[in-house]
Amino acid sequence: METEYILELQNVTKTFGQLVAVDDISFQLHTGEIHAILGENGAGKSTLMNLIYGLYQPTHGQIFISGQLKHLQSPRDAIANGLGMVHQHFMLVDNLTVAENIALYLSHFSTDKKNSQLIQSEVDHPLKFNEKESKISSNFVKWRFKMDEAIQLTETLSQKFDMTVDPHPRVGSLSVGLKQRVEILKALAVDARILILDEPTAVLSPQEVKNFFQILYTLQEDNRTVIFISHKMKEVLEISDRITVLRLGKKVYTGKTGDLSAQELVREMLGEELSDIHKKKSKVIDEPVLRISDLSVKGSQEEVAVNNVSMETYRGEIVGVAGVDGNGQKEFAESIMGLQPITAGTVQILGKHTTSTESIRRNGVAYVPEDRRTTGIIGTFSIADNLMLNISHFERVARHGIIAQNVKYTTAENMIKTYDIRPPNPNLSVSALSGGNQQKVVIARELSTDPELLVAVNPTRGLDISAAQFVHQALLQQRDNEKSVLLISTELEEVLQLSDRLFVMSRGNLIEATDYRDSIEAIGLLMMGERIPNEL
């Protein structure tokens, strides 16, 4: 069967219980194109990629590769069919050398009969390895494991695709950009013809991005196809040939790059209509609760995660910080809580410079962390124990350091009732609860300290609608009680609905965007790290 599509999805749907993650998506990939996929968090990008990569099987619909219907049962299947994926978090063994990593990957996948056929039989395929390369690869198939062959393969591929990767150093000693190239080499070593790159530029510096694009062009010249997932509009417009936009699990747009402007694409991504923005005017009191001046924080890779940020929050307001995941929000919140060392600048709470998390907590700051499972709760502790996991609770439940069991359980039962935590058994291990109920445990604990300032990061992530509304009401209640709330969320709608003042965080910079709150396009552009055109 003749077809120009290397990959075709026909009416693919994926449901998880009630949730439709991917909704009837049809989509074609031309051979040798760079195809960008745009979409908000939760738009279904990852699910779609996992379907293509064989991690999930579609509930309905069909996937064709080079015109043939395929039922991919696992990534192994997908790889055997010429797919390769570069995950956002690298799947590399730091202690092995580059060549060893590639050999490991080959040994894992090349033992497949199918794959050895792929490598040996497709001599006439335009995407084939040259003969020398394919001989080396098939040697791995026969389990003849020779390190110098792995080294040679790495060198050949690195040269062919102009990647300048040395096979000898340990992967752990490489820069992020080089690690990414090793990931791409891994995929090329098993002759991947379609490469899925999940947010490949998120971890790269601007200079590295330039080099990375060069590699993409080389891959394209070799007639390989690239799926490029990104949040960054500018990069998408620069590199891609075609763009597909997803929103809420549906494909809303596919077209040639350049057909739509950045603003039009943002509108496609975010949708036009937003539900009612609450109009109840808040009474902001002119007394700063949190004052941040010139704050800079370094991230885990020593990169600048928060860049010279200044802001205040006042009593009686919710200050929202919107932004795409991984733009420094986590580090920002953690530095306010004293959990991250500050490189420069100051954080003051109620006029006092903060020191330890303990004193920050004692000054009346509550915290709903982004990562519920590691930072919000202790999985092995009971619900009751988790409900007192905040030193501000200790005085309430303990006299002279001895925990009064009856007080501990009555306060726990009260919180369980107020916040409708199910099942309502304080002795149950918290890990037995659903994610939504675990989040309720966190919210219940943090709000019941009657905090002056609440720092909440993605407080409704993973919650169903009614639970999310409950959390929203709780935040508004805090505001109406003349407390201060800092809401950091990747859910734009949530931030727009709740905030009295609005900021956007992008690449560690905090930009005030209250004036743009009625223009979703402007905020979208700010989130993408773009400037706002004058006409908006």
Partner 1 sequence: MNYSSVIEGNSHIKNWPHLKNWVLMPLLILICAFLTNAIVIFFCGYNPIRTYIAALNVSFGSPSGIGETLVKSTPFLMTGLSVAIAFRCGIWNIGAEGQFLLGALAATWFGTKLAAYLPHTAWIGIPIGIGFSIVAGGMCGLISAVLKITRGVNEVISTIMLNYIAINLVSAMVDGGPLQEAAKTGSQSNPLYEWVKLPRLFEPHRIHPGIILAVILAVVLTYVLFRTTFGYRLRAVGEGPEAAQAAGISITRNTLYVFFLSGALAGLGGAIELMALAPHLTKNFSPGYGYTAIAVALLARLNPLATVASALLFGALTQGAFGMEAEVGISGKITWMMQAIILMFVVAATSLNYFQSKRSSES
465 in contact with partner 1 (CB under 8 A): no
- Which of 82, 84, 320, 369 touches partner 1 (CB under 8 A)? 369
Contact in structure between 153 and 185 (CB atoms under 8 Å): no
Contact in structure between 211 and 181 (CB atoms under 8 Å): no
- Which of 96, 202, 252, 389 touches partner 1 (CB under 8 A)? 389
**Dihedral (CA of 51, 55, 59, 62) sign:** positive
Max CA separation in the chain (angstroms)? 81
367 in contact with partner 1 (CB under 8 A): yes
339 in contact with partner 1 (CB under 8 A): yes
13 in contact with partner 1 (CB under 8 A): no
CB nearer to partner 1: give 66 or 392: 392
Binding letters toward partner 1, positions 390-419, x by CB under 8 A? xxx-x---x--xxx-x--------------
- Which of 422, 450, 480, 512 touches partner 1 (CB under 8 A)? 422
Contact in structure between 390 and 450 (CB atoms under 8 Å): no
In the complex, least distance from residue 135 CB atom to partner 1, rounded to whole angstroms: 40
Question: Residue count at the site for partner 1 (CB under 8 A)?
Answer: 38
436 in contact with partner 1 (CB under 8 A): no
Residue span binding partner 1 (CB under 8 A) among the ranges 29-37, 74-82, 351-359, 521-529 = 351-359
In the complex, least distance from residue 442 CB atom to partner 1, rounded to whole angstroms: 10
How many beta carbons lie within 10 A of that of residue 193, not counting itself? Answer: 27
- From the list 199, 211, 165, the residue with the least C-alpha distance to 185 is 165
Contact in structure between 310 and 292 (CB atoms under 8 Å): yes
- Which of 83, 185, 318, 388 touches partner 1 (CB under 8 A)? 388
In the complex, least distance from residue 374 CB atom to partner 1, rounded to whole angstroms: 5
In the complex, least distance from residue 338 CB atom to partner 1, rounded to whole angstroms: 9
Q: How far apart are CA 158 and CA 45, in angstroms?
A: 30
Residue span binding partner 1 (CB under 8 A) among the ranges 171-179, 247-255, 297-305, 422-430 = 422-430
The DSSP H or E segment spanning 509 is strand 509-512
Q: How far apart are CA 75 and CA 54, in angstroms?
A: 5
In the complex, least distance from residue 464 CB atom to partner 1, rounded to whole angstroms: 15
Q: Bridge partners of 455?
A: 367, 486
In the complex, least distance from residue 77 CB atom to partner 1, rounded to whole angstroms: 21
Q: Which residue has the tokens 């069909």?
A: 62
Q: How far apart are CA 369 and CA 458, in angstroms?
A: 8
Q: How far apart are CA 194 and CA 305, in angstroms?
A: 32
DSSP for 116-127 reads HHHHHH-TTSTT
Residue span binding partner 1 (CB under 8 A) among the ranges 178-186, 289-297, 424-432, 482-490 = 424-432
Q: What is the torsion angle, in degrees rounded to the nearest 10, for the CA atoms of residue 254, residue 256, residue 257 and residue 261?
A: -70
Nearby residues of 436 by Cβ (< 8 Å), 6 or more positions away = 462, 463, 464, 467
Binding letters toward partner 1, positions 82-111, x by CB under 8 A? ------------------------------
Q: Which residues bind partner 1 (CB under 8 A)?
A: 337, 339, 356-358, 360-362, 367, 369, 371, 374-381, 385, 388-392, 394, 398, 401-403, 405, 422-425, 427-428, 431
